């Protein structure tokens, strides 16, 4: 009986490993993995971002505070920026607007404890890409980053084709 239990445990472990690997990028695509900048405070959301970035192969950079204007002028905007609204509850619109205006234009995903139509309209107005409710759901985060990455890559491809013409 113990042997059967051990066999099933081994099978379940292999299955769990396969399920966590299904989000990884294929071999040779590591250099094509998205670069993600996450402006999030310490806590559960940050830990989840770190774990998912390892599993999915993202190049993740974490910051606890919003960068100053002088600092932002010096770095290249990554394709995907995740910004926690709680970092600056009264000034998140200005931060998203500034982040979204970088070139080439990144996809800014806003983390917020609530998400209603008014917030969505406001985010669209300032140039944001998507809203994720906090605490973050693993599948929603993976889906949002995948969509942002596909959109950004397609935009860059169109831009390069237009420059050739």
Q: What is the pTM (predicted TM-score) of this model?
A: 0.77
The residue range of the domain holding 153 is: 34-164
The answer to whether residue 75 is domain-embedded is yes
* Domain count within the chain: 1
94 assigned to some structural domain: yes
In a domain, 10, yes or no: no
Q: 81 lies in a domain? A: yes
pLDDT per position as a tens digit, 41-81: 999 999 999 999 999 999 999 987 766 554 555 567 799 99
Residue 25 resides in a domain: no
Q: Is residue 20 part of a domain?
A: no
Q: What is the DSSP string of 34-100?
A: PEEEEE--SSHHHHHHHHHHHHHT-EEEEESSPPPHHHHHHSPPPSEEEEEGGGSTTTHHHHHHHHH
The tens digit of pLDDT for each residue in 145-157 reads 999 999 999 999 9
Taking 60 as the threshold, does the pLDDT of residue 95 lie above it?
yes
CATH number for 134:
3.40.50.2300
């Amino acid at each position: 009986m113990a042997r059967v239990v051990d066999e099933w445990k081994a099978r379940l472990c292999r299955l769990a490993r396969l399920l966590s690997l299904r989000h990884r990028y294929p071999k040779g695509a590591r250099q094509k993995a998205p670069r993600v900048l996450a402006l999030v405070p310490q806590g559960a959301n940050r830990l989840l971002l770190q774990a998912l970035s390892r599993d999915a192969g993202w190049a993740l950079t974490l910051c606890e505070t919003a960068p100053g204007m002088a600092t932002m002028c010096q770095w290249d905007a990554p394709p995907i920026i995740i910004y926690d609204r709680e970092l600056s509850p009264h000034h998140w619109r200005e931060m998203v607007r500034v982040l979204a205006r970088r070139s080439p234009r990144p996809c800014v995903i806003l983390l917020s404890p609530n998400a209603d139509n008014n917030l969505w309209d406001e985010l669209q107005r300032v140039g944001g890409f998507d809203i994720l409710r906090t605490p973050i759901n693993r599948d929603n985060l993976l889906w949002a980053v995948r969509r942002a990455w596909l959109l950004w890559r397609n935009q860059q491809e169109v831009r390069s084709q237009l420059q050739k013409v």
